[in-house]
Every structure is written in structure tokens, then in C-alpha cells.
Chain A
Amino acid sequence: MSAVFDAFSMVASFEVLVAILISAVYGMVIGALPGLTATMAIALLVPVTFYLSPIAAVATIITSSAMAIFSGDIPGCLMRIPGTPASAAYTDESYALTRKGQAELALGASLWFSALGGIAGTVALMILAPALAEMALSFSTFEYFWLSFLGLMCATLVARSSPIKAIAAALLGLLVACVGIENPGGVPRFTFGLTDLLGGIEPLPALVGVFAVSEIMRAMINAPPPPIPERKLGSILGGQWALTRRYPKQMWRGNIIGVLIGALPGAGADMAAWVAYATSKRFSKEPEKFGTGHPEGLVESGAANNSALAGGWVPALLFGIPGDTITAIAIGVLYMKGLNPGPTLFTEKASSMYALYIVFLLANVLMIPLGILMIRVSKQVLRAPRSVAMPLILLLCAVGAFAIGNNPFAIVLVAVFGVIGFMMERNGYPVAALVLGIVMGTMVEQNFVTSLIKSDGDLLPFFERPVSSVLATMTIAALLWPAIVWLLRRLRPAEAAR
């Protein structure tokens, strides 16, 4: 018990509280700017953590990443430009709500379920960390292959267009993921002798291009849409209790999906949001409403991406294996601050561990008032004339892309993907599926090829290992399901006619 008491006094110090507050505001702002991600917010914090005490240093990372993942929803909702890749899955949905004049409901749902998801994830981290870590350690490349394949199949579920067009867009994403030398063979592909293409095409410039730049291009050629009814933004949290009561199952499923996917190394908040949104649509009673401004999917995926964030800390704290790109950076800071990951962290440094749990909870509670403030400020964008807002957003996109690696080539990529995204949207191809293809393509290929190397080219181990066989069954069932439904429909009228 004294460890818990120590933990409270560690967190209650002036330095830690100030660090939490400042990094919360910082994370909020970075996440809300299109093109600047939660991962980047953390990377930029690393030099600052040199000068902080261990708890304060880790607290800044926890707080700013939670805030950035939430506030990434804001530009997605207001302008259809996701602030972070974790918001891309449901950007269309929340933007549709804004067009219906229900921006406060969409943003409120993001905020409320993000905070709840973050808290649920923390509780899971506190209670289930050893069990979750055990699960993460039992995953080999065979299991990851099926998992990433399942993730890829979400492409057809999240899109509102025809499944064929969604698959085509995802395949284009897979092609983009082939570029570069970062493949299992270590051989440069599709680089055309350009050094800049050696490292491949990162999902982020593509995301910014297909969503933000193509939106700006559309704004240039289309007449301004009829103004959203000018009225006071209603209460942000007002409708959320009703939503919580209406969709409790979705919320809990989102939390569980988030924690599980987050705890698996290599799969983070982005994938959790995609899978949760797809699951929500798959099991919804009214799937036809998805994409038209229906909060059900927002509840589930908003909860999932924030609970994934806490889940990502499980393998990081226990084994020093990053659960996502954010914890990959955090592990370096943990070592530097003498909080070496490992089981000893939970025994010898128990009070520090409890302190981190408290920071997690504090950050997610703090998210609500700060988030309301942020929403109120940023919704002014809706009132700004497009001729002012759009150039500024374009500038932000360029700056954000450049800032990732101080490489001007990223700006070119953003522009190219802007054009690609614009042409795809015009012809009804969903850009979200393209982004999913880029994100998942590397994972699918890496895990498939390395698994084959390990099994000497034998396909059997993909089905032999216990977890792998379960995932394989799920994947194949999901693949064949539409065909079975189609067959049944064909057979039934035939029977009736007989």
C-alpha cells in the first residue's frame, strides 16, 4: 500500500503536474494539425525529456500521445482531413455528421469515448498486463500474417462504395507499399534509381495527400457548399450519456479490440480504429446507415484507438518490445531514465509503475475539459471563408510532411497523392482503402515472406499453430461469407419456384 501512496506523492509534485498540463496542450495542438501525428509529437518531445525527472518525462509522453490521438479527430470531423492516421478510418463518418449540422455530437462522441477508452485501456494495463504480455509473446509471424490480412480485408467493409472499387483502391495501396528497399529481400523495388524512394513511401504523406490536398483541390473547382446552418454549437457532452446507454456493447467491444490490438507489437491505434469500425459495421443492426453520419461506428472506433494506446504499453513495459511507434520511442526514454522495462519494473520500481498508471488516468480525465476547449476553438474554422482556410491548410500539409524527416521529397509525395486522391474520389474509389493498403501492405508481405523462410516454403505451419489456426479460420470465413450469402440467395428463390 505504501507503494501506492508513494506513487501519489510522485505524481503530485509541481514538476510532474506542470509537465502533464503543458504536454496535454501541446499534444492537443499537434494532433489537431493535419499532417502532424502523435508519433511526431512524441519524437519532438525526446530532447525535452533529457531535462525532466523520470516520472515527469514519461508523463509527458503518455499525456501528449493520448491528447494527440483524440484531437486528430477534430480536423477529420470539421474538414474531412484526419489529423492522425488513427482517425482516418472514420473521417468520412464524422464529416457526414458535421454536414448534417451535428458537429457537436460527432466531436463529443470522439472526446467522450476516447476518454472512456483510454481509462478502460489503463485499467486493462493495470489488471491484465502479465496476461496480455503473455498473449503478445505467443504471436509469431504466422499469427501476424493472418492478423494483418484480416486488417486488410477491412477495406471493403469501411468503404461505402462498391466492394470492387474498394478492393481496387486497396490493391493500389499494396502496390505503393512495394516501393523501396525495406522489404524482406532487402532489394530496391520501383525506386527508378531515386535515392528518395529507397526508403519507401510512408503512409503519412500519402494520407495527407489523399485526404487533405484532394479536399483542397475539390474546394477549388466546386462552388462552396451551402453553409452549415449558422447556430450556436450545442452542448458537447450533452448527447453522450444517451449514446453510451444506446451503444454499450459497441463501446466495450471497441475497448477490448483496442486493448488486444494495441498489446500486439507492431499493430497500433491505427489498425485498432480500422478493425473496430469494420466490426461495428459488420455486426450493426443498421449497417446501411454507416457513412451517412451515424454515430455507432464512431463510438466503437473512437474507443478503440485510445484504448490501443494504453495496450501498446504492455509489451513495452514488460519486455521492452514496442507495441506501436509511440512506445518504440518511449522505451528509449524509459531506459534513459533508469526505468528499464522488464518484470523488475513491476516489483522493484512498483511505486513508479503506480505513478505511471495514475498519470494515464489523469491524462484521460484531463482530456475532457481540454478537449471541450479545443473543440470550441477549432470549430471557428467552419466559419472561416474557404479562401482563407484552404491555403492555410495546404501550407500546414507541406510543413507537416517536410517536418517528418526534413526532406523536401515528402512535399512532392503529398502533392502527388493529392492528385491521385482527387482522381480516385471523382471516380468513386475510396481513398481510405488506399491508405489501409499502404499501412497493411508492408505488414502482410513481411510476415508472409518471413514465415515462408522459417517454414522452408511450407504452407502448413500457417494452419498448424493453435492461435494461427483460429485466425486463419476467421479470415477464410470472412473471405467466403459474401460468397455463401450470395449462393444462399440464389438457391432460395430457386427452391420457392420449384
Chain B
Amino acid sequence: MTKMTRRGALAAGALAGIVPLARPAIAQARYPTRPVQFLVPWGAGGGTDATARIVASLLEQELGQPFNVVNRTGGSGVVGHSAIASAAPDGYTIGIITVEICMMHWQGLTELTRSSFTPLALMNEDPPGVQVSSSSPHKDIKSLAEAIKASPPGKFKASGTGQGGIWHLGLAGWLGAMGLKADHVRWVPSNGAAPAMQDLAAGGIDMVTCSVPEARAIIEAGRAKSLAIMAPERNPQFPDVPTLKESIGVDYSVGAWRGIGGPLKMPQEIASTLTAALQKVWDSKEFKDFMNARGFGMVWADADGYAKHMEESDAKLGAAMKAAGLTKA
């Protein structure tokens, strides 16, 4: 490990024609001078991976150096996130940080929290929706919400991800906002949104609280419908789906987000360079086309906004996890 850093430092020093000690000063002047490693805590081929790859290729156009995407998987995301947090804070290792960082520490699975990173920018957020089978008697969210309130605890079954996953917390938070207990609707853990939607169509469960884009194909096939989303505003891509607030007056919103961050103590200049470049990326047509094609929600926040967003998300998810009995005692 030390060998690697030393070699890297020497190379950079040689490039700048200056002793290694003075490297930070030079790097600030013309960052980036060499390829940047872009870590992804999740596997190749998934949604996070695809987002990271489009952002990395656009950053490369913006800053003129390759941004190499490296998938560091394992430990349900912990391995990759800690690799980002523990990298040298020289701006040459950054990565994509996902909502799980505001969840896992509540379960006692890791020491990592949002404050282990230098936030750079928030790029995307997808709120949970409420999907039911097209054969469900509930045609709108109002009728479903009333049926849930009237039912005995555990009668309704919902799914969308694993136990304690983001869509589980979305459901728990929504129930809490309606004054119900978090387990009033029983959670059926699944291996992701797609198997849950399939089980919904097969009649195995009553509702799925994954994001609307994840349910899109089945909805378009006429097997399911989306009754509401847990967001402050409607999604322009799915304008017919109302928010919880406008339909049943429950002001609850949450979301699965993805942002870009680096290790703590990154030099301010490098961080601002990256945030500025990320803003250009977010504004670019290529990024918008990609996100629209995948149906991913686009939300922008700069470094300070992202830090605030993570803080709110952390508090909200922590509360939902406590209510659902998922936190470590």
C-alpha cells in the first residue's frame, strides 16, 4: 500500500518536474493531472453502476482526464463505501455514494456514516411509489389507505426489497405518517423490485412500494398500477401518479438517492472543481437523455445542499428504522 502511494507521488512529482512534497500545490493548480479512480460500491450492470458510468464518462469530457469506474462490491455495499472513505483525500479517488450509507449504521453494520465523506453533489433521487395489481379492488390511494387503516395488523402484505431496505422504510414511514404502526402492513422481503413486482402480478402480495420506474414495464403491460408516490411533487415522467400529500393529505416523502463524494479532508479547491464539473454534467443533454431513458429521477444539490440532504435523509430513515424495530438495540 505504502509502495503504491510512494510510486504515485513520484510519478506525479516527475510529471510536474518538482519534488513530491510540493505536489498538493501543483495539483490544486491544474487538477486533475492524472486519471481519477471512480469507485462504485455495487456490482457492474445495475442502476447505480450505470449512473456512475455515465457520470464518469461525462466528467472525463469536462476535466480532460479519464475517470475510471471500478466496482468494489461486497459486504452489501459496506466494502465499496469504506474504500471511498479511506482513500487518500487527493481528489484522485472519488465515488458514488448511495442511500444505504444513511441506513446501515443504524443497524450497527458499519461505523461509516454520511460524515465519513466529503459530499460533492447529489445527482439523483427516486421516491417510492405505491403499486397494486391491476386486479386489486383499490382504484386509488384513498381507498387503499382506508382499507389499510380498517384492516387488522398484518392482513396486508407488501414487498419491494429486502428486510430493512429503502422501500421497506418508505412503507414504514408512510404508515407512521398515517398514525399506524410500522408493521401494520407486513413486509415480505424480496430479492429486489423485479421479483416483488412479479409476485404482485402472481397474486402473492397486496402492494409493492418500489420506485415507479422499477415497476414501469409491468404497469405498461397492464398488470399493475401505481396509485401514488411518496414525494413532494409529481414525477414529470409519470404525470398521472399523484403524490401522497395531494391525494390523501399525508405529507410524507422519502427517496433512494445517489450522489458523488470523496474521502474526508479533500482540498477545498479540488472539491469545488469537481462540484462545478458535476453541475455541468448534470445540466448536459447526455446526462438528461440517459436518466430519462432509464426513468431515473434527476435531483441536483451542490456540496452544501447534498450534505443537508444526507442529514435529513439520515434522520428520517433512522426514525423509520426505529419504528420498524430494525435498529440495533
B-binding residues in A (CB < 8 A): 39-40, 42-44, 46-47, 50, 136-142, 180-182, 184-188, 195-199, 265-266, 315, 318-322, 328-329, 332, 335-338, 340-344, 404-407, 409-410, 446, 449-450, 453-454, 456
Contact = CB atoms under 8 A, between A and B. Distances in A.
A405 B73 contact: yes
A335 B293 contact: yes
Residue from B74, B154, B204, B221 with most neighbouring chain A CB atoms (10 Å): B74
Range class of the B interface residue count:
35 or more
A268 to B, nearest CB: 13
Contacts of A39: 45
Contact of A450 (B69, B74, B75, B188): B188
A336 B74 contact: no
B143 interface: no
Contacts of B295: 335
Given A141-B204, A198-B76, A453-B157, A319 B190 contact: no
Nearest to A410: B74
Residue from A140, A188, A266, A410 with most neighbouring chain B CB atoms (10 Å): A140
Interface stretch (B9-17, B90-98, B192-200, B277-285): B192-200
A163 B83 CA distance: 45
Contacts, number: 164
B288 to A, nearest CB: 13
Contact of A319 (B44, B69, B163, B221): B221
B58 to A, nearest CB: 11
B218 A199 contact: no
A136 B198 contact: yes
B217 interface: yes
- In the A-B complex, the 7 residue pairs with the closest CB atoms: A320-B217, A186-B163, A405-B73, A329-B45, A43-B44, A140-B204, A198-B75
A46 B50 contact: yes
Contact of A320 (B154, B188, B216, B290): B216
Nearest to B206: A454
Contact of A336 (B70, B201, B290, B326): B290
A320 B223 CA distance: 12
B60 to A, nearest CB: 12
A303 to B, nearest CB: 27
Interface of B: 43-47, 49-50, 53-54, 57, 69-76, 78-79, 82, 109-110, 154, 157, 159, 162-165, 186-191, 194-195, 197-199, 201-205, 216-218, 220-223, 290, 293-295, 326
A137 B53 CA distance: 32
Contacts of B110: 195
A406 B72 contact: yes
A427 to B, nearest CB: 31
B78 A198 contact: yes
Contacts of B217: 318-321, 340-342
Nearest to B45: A329
Contacts of A180: 76
A322 B194 contact: yes
Nearest to B203: A140
A407 B41 CA distance: 11
B79 to A, nearest CB: 6
B303 to A, nearest CB: 27
Contact of B294 (A50, A328, A336, A450): A336
B237 to A, nearest CB: 12
Given A42-B45, A198-B78, A186 B73 contact: no
B202 A335 contact: no
B69 A454 contact: no
Given A50-B53, A454-B204, A196 B74 contact: yes
A338 B289 CA distance: 10
A39 B73 CA distance: 15
Nearest to A188: B109
B220 A182 contact: no
16 contacts: A43-B45, A137-B202, A141-B204, A195-B82, A315-B198, A321-B194, A321-B217, A321-B218, A340-B220, A342-B221, A405-B73, A405-B79, A406-B71, A406-B73, A449-B189, A453-B157
Contacts of B205: 454
A185 B189 CA distance: 8
B218 A320 contact: yes
Nearest to B57: A50
Nearest to A133: B221
A141 B221 contact: no
Contacts of A187: 163
B189 A46 contact: no
B189 A405 contact: no
Contact of A47 (B53, B109, B204, B220): B53
Given A336-B293, A337-B293, A405-B43, A195 B326 contact: no
A318 B75 contact: no
